[in-house]
């Protein structure tokens, strides 16, 4: 996104900074415009505020939450579930992806099962996980893992399969054993593919956590939203959605930060490739 | 007399004795199965001896199986028939005496220049102290002392080739195998790299097998030029001894009458095969 913006900026005979500032300005104007439209239409009864809420009470609710303490606990739980789901899911997927990527027979045998599990709408597993793991965080983590696993798995598998044969031949000529080959060629190559899917997989872990909470729990942002929905408190529901959205944006920003820290060897322009 | 034909040459070799050959290909044939179910024979009945400290270039038209020969010397490819002998012993698995410089980029993109150069030492479990010493020594030797922390994507094509060269030579291989290593570089960088390679090779002479489709490069670099016929089932057509004096400057030597004379002779042998190879590539 940013690269296309900068190439366009290069075509216009204007300094890039003013162009960027203009984009930010328009983005802010659009946000304010949307809130104004929402506020006016609900205030004058063009849209029923019972169904659509109203911006002032929604913002008020967000403000109340953050001046209290309970919200931090709920957010913390959701974040913990997201992190656990991502880490466990990614590590499992790395192991299975490496193994199947390097083993033709195993991958041929597993192929239909992997396809079936990937095709299945896995959100439907949430009630089963609730039965298995209870209403605590682990049922949400389990749901997140099933969502994260396949994204990372397919990337690792692809990464192992598409390692350049020259790279492998070179490492072998330099004296790498099978183990060293896996550690210094296949694993780094697969890791780079995991990084390219980081945004999607962290996002999926977050979805798993929130949906899991929504379907049955006693804590977390999904639980807050579910509670408010139960009493038709639409303003609180919208406030919850607003907080979740901002939270997801922050998470995405952190991923970008981690990515640029850990991924120094890769040219920046290459990211969109996969 | 700059050039010697094959019969004379084999006489010279036999006088030197078999013990002096580093690599000996005993009538190797390499066939591959094609997707359509047939078999494609890349090279047929290749007999080639590379002496110790000898620089041999293999030239031939595109698709004549030059890389196939190199890969079987490296042990990356098992010949369908025939044997590869390294210092008198039949080769099994990877050739541990050989270093290989590939045509394509073979550096690990996630490793810095330094980490790439010491990769082979790492695989062999060299002591950290010695590894550090050798790694920086070789980076200096290829003129990249200041670029130890650069990743491959931050370097130019010529710099990457230097890293690859150091990566191979740091292990002090007895046999150097090169598959058109400089074909992707521009002409100036290429001649610079050729001179650097020759300088490094002269400093510590070992056997070298250099694959190229560029006859001028082959003559300028080597002690002997081997000409392959067009594929499929290519065979060795002729061998030419290059008696130009060393040290050589690959750019300047191209202007000398001896060079031009050799070029003329070898090209006369190659021309028809190049045309044949071109026509085949047009049909296929």
Per-residue pLDDT tens digits for B46-73? 899 999 889 999 998 877 788 899 999 9
How many angstroms separate the CA atoms of B236 and B221, rounded? Answer: 19
Q: How is chain B split among helix, strand and coil, in percent rounded to 5?
A: 45, 25, 35
Tell me how far the alpha carbon of residue B6 is from its chain's centroid: 21
Are the C-beta atoms of residues B75 and B95 closer than 8 Å to each other? Answer: yes
Range with the poorest average pLDDT among A155-159, A206-210, A263-267: A263-267
- Which of B40, B49, B41 lies closest to B15 in space, CA to CA? B49
Phi, psi (degrees; rounded to nearest 5) at A77:
-60, -50
CB contact under 8 A, A174 and B109: no
Write down the mean pLDDT value for chain B: 86
What contacts B3, CB < 8 A, 6 or more positions away?
A: B240, B241, B242, B243, B261, B262, B265, B266
* Residues of chain B with C-beta less than 8 angstroms from the C-beta of A184: 108, 119, 122-123
SS3 at position B171: coil
Per-residue pLDDT tens digits for A261-273? 776 666 544 433 3
* pLDDT at site A80: 93
Give yes or no for residue B9 having a pLDDT over 80: no
DSSP H/E element including B208: strand B207-212
Higher per-residue pLDDT: B178 or A123: B178
Tell me how far the alpha carbon of residue A154 is from its chain's centroid: 16
Radius of gyration of chain B (CA): 19
Tell me the HSE value of B5 on the side-chain side, using a 13 A CA sphere. 4
- Helix residue spans in chain B (DSSP H): 6-16, 66-74, 113-117, 119-123, 128-141, 157-169, 187-203, 215-221, 250-253, 257-283
- CA-nearest residue to B178 within chain A is A170
- CA-nearest residue to B71 within chain A is A169
**For residue B160, what are its two tokens?**
């990457």
How many angstroms separate the CA atoms of A89 and A265, rounded? Answer: 25
- CA-nearest residue to A182 within chain B is B123
* pLDDT at site B84: 92
Q: What is the pTM of this model?
A: 0.75
Nearest to A174 among B109, B120, B152 (CB): B120
Quickly count: other Cβ atoms within 10 Å of residue B253's Cβ: 17
How many angstroms separate the CA atoms of A232 and A246, rounded? Answer: 23
* pLDDT at site B121: 94
Per-residue pLDDT tens digits for B101-159? 998 889 999 899 999 999 999 999 989 999 999 999 999 988 899 999 999 999 998 89
Phi, psi (degrees; rounded to nearest 5) at A44:
-90, 10
Sign of the C-alpha dihedral computed for residues A213, A214, A216 and A219 taken in this order: positive
Collect all residues from A whose CB is shorter than 8 A from any CB in B.
Answer: 164, 166-167, 169-177, 180, 184-185, 188-189, 192, 264-267
- Got the DSSP string for B11-31? HHHHHH-GGGEEEEEEEEEEE
Give yes or no for residue B276 having a pLDDT over 90: no
CATH architecture of the region B19-96+175-280 = 3-Layer(aba) Sandwich (3.40)
SS3 at position B174: coil
Range with the poorest average pLDDT among A6-15, A185-194, B62-71, B158-167: A6-15
* Residues of chain A with C-beta less than 8 angstroms from the C-beta of B73: none
How big is the CA angle at B24 (ends B18 and B28), to the nearest 5 degrees? Answer: 135
Q: How far is A192 from chain B (nearest CA, A)?
A: 9
* Parallel/antiparallel/unpaired status of strands B81-86 and B236-241: unpaired
Per-residue pLDDT tens digits for B73-105? 999 999 999 999 999 889 988 999 999 999 888
CATH 3.40.50.300 in chain B, residues?
Answer: 19-96+175-280
Mean of pLDDT values over B38-44: 87
Tell me how far the alpha carbon of residue A260 is from its chain's centroid: 17
- Band (A15; pLDDT cuts 50, 70, 90): low
* pLDDT at site A271: 39
SS3 at position B56: strand
* pLDDT at site B138: 92
- Which of B30, B23, B35, B26 lies closest to B77 in space, CA to CA? B30
Quickly count: other Cβ atoms within 10 Å of residue B213's Cβ: 18
State the ipTM, two decimals: 0.84
* pLDDT at site B185: 85
């Amino acid at each position: 996104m940013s690269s296309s913006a900068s190439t366009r900026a290069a075509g216009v005979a204007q300094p890039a900074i003013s162009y960027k500032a203009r984009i930010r300005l328009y983005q802010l104007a659009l946000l304010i415009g949307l809130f104004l439209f929402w506020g006016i239409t609900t205030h004058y009864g063009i849209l029923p505020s019972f169904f659509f809420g109203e911006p002032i009470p929604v913002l008020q609710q967000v403000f109340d939450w953050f001046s209290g303490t309970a919200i931090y606990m709920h957010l913390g739980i959701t974040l913990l579930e997201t992190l656990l789901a991502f880490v466990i899911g990614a590590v499992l997927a790395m192991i299975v992806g490496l193994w199947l990527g390097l083993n033709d027979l195993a991958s041929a045998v597993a192929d239909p099962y992997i396809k079936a599990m990937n095709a299945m709408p896995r959100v439907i597993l949430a009630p089963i996980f609730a039965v298995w793991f209870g209403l605590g965080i682990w049922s949400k983590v389990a749901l997140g893992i099933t969502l994260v696993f396949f994204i990372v798995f397919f990337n690792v598998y692809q990464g192992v399969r598409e390692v350049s044969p020259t790279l492998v031949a070179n490492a072998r000529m330099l004296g790498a054993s099978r183990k060293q080959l896996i550690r210094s060629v296949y694993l780094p190559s697969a890791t780079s593919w995991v990084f390219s899917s980081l945004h999607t997989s962290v996002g999926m872990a977050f979805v798993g956590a929130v949906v899991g909470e929504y379907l049955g729990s006693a804590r977390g942002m999904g639980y807050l939203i579910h509670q408010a929905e139960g009493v038709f408190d639409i303003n609180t529901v919208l406030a919850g959605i607003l907080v979740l959205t901002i939270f997801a944006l922050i998470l995405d920003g952190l991923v970008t930060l981690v990515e640029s820290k850990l991924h120094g060897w890769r040219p920046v322009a290459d990211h969109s490739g996969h | 007399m700059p050039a010697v034909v094959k019969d004379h040459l084999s006489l010279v070799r036999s006088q030197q004795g078999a013990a002096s050959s580093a690599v000996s290909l005993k009538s190797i044939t390499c066939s591959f199965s094609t997707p359509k179910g047939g078999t494609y024979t890349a090279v047929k009945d290749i007999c080639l001896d590379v002496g110790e400290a000898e620089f041999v270039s293999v030239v031939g038209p595109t698709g004549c199986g030059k890389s196939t020969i190199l890969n079987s010397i490296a042990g990356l490819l098992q010949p369908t028939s025939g044997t590869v002998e390294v210092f008198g012993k039949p080769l099994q698995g990877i050739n541990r005496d050989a270093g290989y410089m590939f045509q394509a980029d073979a550096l690990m993109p996630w490793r810095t220049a330094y980490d790439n150069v010491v990769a082979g030492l790492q695989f062999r479990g060299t002591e950290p102290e010695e590894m550090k010493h050798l790694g920086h020594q070789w980076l200096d030797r290829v003129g990249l002392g200041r670029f130890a922390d650069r990743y491959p994507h931050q370097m130019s094509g010529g710099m990457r080739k230097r890293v690859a060269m150091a990566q191979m030579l740091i292990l002090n291989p007895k046999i150097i195998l090169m598959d058109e290593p400089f074909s992707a570089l521009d002409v100036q960088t290429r001649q610079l790299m050729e001179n650097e390679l020759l300088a490094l090779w002269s400093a510590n002479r070992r056997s070298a097998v250099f694959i190229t489709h560029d006859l001028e490069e082959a003559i300028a670099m080597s002690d002997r030029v081997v000409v392959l016929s067009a594929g499929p089932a290519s065979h060795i057509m002729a061998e030419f001894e290059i008696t130009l004096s060393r040290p050589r400057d690959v750019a300047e030597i191209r202007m000398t009458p001896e060079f031009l004379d050799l070029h003329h002779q070898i090209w006369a042998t190659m021309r028809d095969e190049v045309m044949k190879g071109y026509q085949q590539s047009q049909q296929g």
